[in-house]
Amino acid sequence: MRIFSGIQPTGRKHLGNFVGAIQQYVEGQQRAVDHGDVAIYCIVDLHATTVAYEPRELRERLYDTTAILLAAGLDPERCVLFRQSDVQEHAELAWLLCSVTSHGDLNRMHQFKDKSAQQRELVSAGLFVYPTLMAADVLAYRAHDVPVGDDQRQHVELMRDIAIRFNARFGAGADGEPQEVLVVPEHRIPAVGARIMDLQDPTRKMSTTGGSVEGTVYVLDEPAAITKKFKRAVTDSDNEIRHDRAAKPGVSNLLELLAVSRGTSIDEAQASMADARGYGDLKTAVGEAVIEMLAPVQERYAQLRHDEAALEATLAAGAEKARAIASDTLADVRAVMGVGPVAAG
């Protein structure tokens, strides 16, 4: 069972990214090895060019993201960690997959609607075909399992449709039997923590772009800032500590964060607050648990981030391993699509 996921090197990584995605990546590297396969994680700088951005800053954020992933526990000896633009097969496959991507489907993507509404100057064609590039990321590795947060559900559905359409259109073997040229992947969305909400507005997801700074806890926030953000978290007017996403979004979000940062269930988190005197105690408890979860990550990050040459070397080694897999897939894709010369041998 091969695992693939991607993360953008934009903005600062927050608690939603950490529990919705990064923790799953770390857990996935052993799961893949146990199944005799590999987990592949990609920092998607090409995706980051689809909205307005500053080139110099992109490279800085790329190093930040690489260092956060390593600090969180990704081990380049056990997984493949690389930068998307280092493996040109992604861009080529994205173009080829455009022929089996429905324009109407792209038009229905929530993320496109949200992000295009936020653009001031230009809604780029890149933003529109973003999901096809994301499909290429995964399909180039014939991955089965795609760990993501809930907001990527629709994009993974679309990449499944693209793979199915590709196989149906181009996968007929010499005997006319359909072959699986591309693997149809599945999303892996965690049961708890797949949609962490903004602390100031618990009806909106925590996010780099749409949310509030006070309501967003960053992986690299100082402990004092984390405490303050949780203290000011929006809850509700009764004082019952109970998990009920619809009726009590703020309290439920805090309970989920308490559970994931302590590594317990939501029920256990709720039970641990049975003697609380009010929401203040819950906020203190979550703040402490989150600080404790992030402390070792922040410590390792501080050791890793300054050595950009070492980060580059890690990414280069990852890219080499990634390319070996992706180039095989691309050779098959070109062959069945009739693109380029007939393959030798």
Question: Which residue ranges make up the site for ligand TRP (CB under 6 A)?
Answer: 4-8, 44, 47, 134, 137-138, 146, 148, 152, 155
* Binding of ligand AMP by 159 (CB under 6 A): no
DSSP letters, 136-167, are: HHHHTTT-SEEE--GGGHHHHHHHHHHHHHHH
Among 3, 67, 143, 194, binds ligand AMP (CB under 6 A): 194
Residues 6 or more apart in contact with residue 207 via CB below 8 angstroms: 14, 16, 198, 216
From first CA to last CA, the distance across the chain in angstroms is 29
Site size for ligand AMP, by CB under 6 A? 16
Among 29, 66, 152, 270, binds ligand AMP (CB under 6 A): 152
Query: With CB cut-offs between 5 and 8 Å by kind, which of ligand AMP, ligand TRP, none does residue 194 bind?
Result: ligand AMP
Among 151, 161, 201, 288, binds ligand AMP (CB under 6 A): 151
Q: Which tokens in the block code for residue 62?
A: 């790329």
By CB under 6 A, the residues from 197 to 216 that bind ligand AMP are 205-207
Q: In whole angstroms, how close is the CB of 187 to ligand TRP at the nearest point? A: 8
Q: In whole angstroms, how close is the CB of 158 to ligand TRP at the nearest point? A: 11
* CA distances, 162 to each of 106, 131, 137, 214 (Å): 11, 10, 12, 39
Closest chain position to ligand TRP (CB): 6
Query: With CB cut-offs between 5 and 8 Å by kind, which of ligand AMP, ligand TRP, none does residue 146 bind?
Result: ligand TRP
Query: With CB cut-offs between 5 and 8 Å by kind, which of ligand AMP, ligand TRP, none does residue 20 bind?
Result: ligand AMP
Which residue, 94 or 206, has its beta carbon nearer to ligand AMP? 206
- Alpha-carbon distance of 263 to 280, in angstroms, equals 21
- Alpha-carbon distance of 28 to 111, in angstroms, equals 26
Q: Which residues are 205's β-sheet partners?
A: 197
Contact in structure between 162 and 115 (CB atoms under 8 Å): no
Contact in structure between 185 and 145 (CB atoms under 8 Å): yes
Which residue, 11 or 327, has its beta carbon nearer to ligand AMP? 11
Residues near ligand AMP (CB under 6 A): 7-8, 16-17, 20-21, 148-149, 151-152, 194-196, 205-207
